[in-house]
Amino acid sequence: MLGTEIVIRFTWVSVVKVLFISPAVVVPICFLLYLPWDSPNAPAWVQAVGSIAAIIAAWLIPYQHEQMRVRKQKEDLLASVAWLALRVKNSFDHMAGVIQRSEPEARDGWLFLSEPSDWAIHRDAAREFPLVGFTRDEISWLLSLRSVTEFGLLCAETLKAWDFEDSPNLAQDFPHNDGIVFHRPQIDWVLGQLPLGLRRRDSV
């Protein structure tokens, strides 16, 4: 039986709501309400309460900033994934079109645009994304992106070295046609899984 992954997400608002109904908050508030505020020792109580509040604030403020920093870093990483996925899709479509045209001139134009070098850059960029900090679904996107870029580089190297005199029918004889059929939908799937806002931002 497969294990079930349970992901619990907290927002700042939900944490505050929970704190307000938590015994750790309610009990001290009730205690403060019944303190002898009209006694000569009231200034000392006020100072004690202020010190406690300052300690809590000193912990909460850095914690909130750290959470915001982590969230922003995650959003930036996902935006980079979306940008790379869009670039990979365009490169894959272009290369597949060149293969289907089966013309030396089309391949030479593709070489002029440095497409083989682009695929090496895509592959290296996909490898650089860390898997730490991502959910299981997001990791599946990254692994699919890595797989597509590895295969794309293989295709690019094969196309770059293709000898049209020996095998003029590139579209039929290209050895990775089955792989193109398999990998091409993967990049569309990755783009489809990314948040819509990221896809819109990186398509501009």
DSSP for 117-165 reads: HHHHHHHHHHHHS--TT--HHHHHHHHHHHHHHHHHHHHHHHHHT--TT
Domains: count for the chain: 1
Residue 2 has what pLDDT?
A: 41
Given a cut of 80, whether residue 180 has pLDDT beyond it is yes
Alpha carbon distances (Å) from 105 to 96, 98, 179: 15, 9, 24
For the beta carbon of residue 84, count every other beta carbon within 10 angstroms: 21
Say if 11 falls within a structural domain.
no
Say if 138 falls within a structural domain.
yes
CB 122 within 8 A of CB 88: yes
- Give 19-68 pLDDT, tens digit per residue: 556 665 666 666 666 666 666 766 776 677 677 777 776 777 777 777 78
Say if 157 falls within a structural domain.
yes
- Name the helix (H) or strand (E) containing 23: helix 23-33
Say if 198 falls within a structural domain.
yes
Say if 51 falls within a structural domain.
no
For the beta carbon of residue 115, count every other beta carbon within 10 angstroms: 19
Helix then strand then coil, % of the chain, to nearest 5? 75, 0, 25
Given a cut of 60, whether residue 7 has pLDDT beyond it is no
Residue 3 has what pLDDT?
A: 45
For residues 200 and 73, what is the distance between their CA atoms, to the nearest angstrom?
A: 19
Residue 4 has what pLDDT?
A: 45
Average pLDDT over residues 158-169: 94
Q: Which residues contact 113 (CB under 8 A, 6 or more apart)?
A: none
pLDDT band at 194 (very low <50, low <70, confident <90, very high): confident
Average pLDDT over residues 149-154: 95
Q: What pTM value is reported for the model?
A: 0.65
Please give the residue range of the domain that contains residue 145. 75-203
Residue 155 has what pLDDT?
A: 96
Which contacts (CB < 8 Å, 24+ apart) does range 113-116 have? 115/91, 115/156, 116/153, 116/156, 116/157, 116/159, 116/160
- Give 108-131 pLDDT, tens digit per residue: 999 998 888 899 999 999 999 888
Say if 168 falls within a structural domain.
yes
103-107, 133-137, 153-157, 194-198: range with lowest mean pLDDT: 194-198
Say if 121 falls within a structural domain.
yes
Say if 180 falls within a structural domain.
yes
Q: In the numeric block, which tokens belong to residue 86?
A: 């869009």
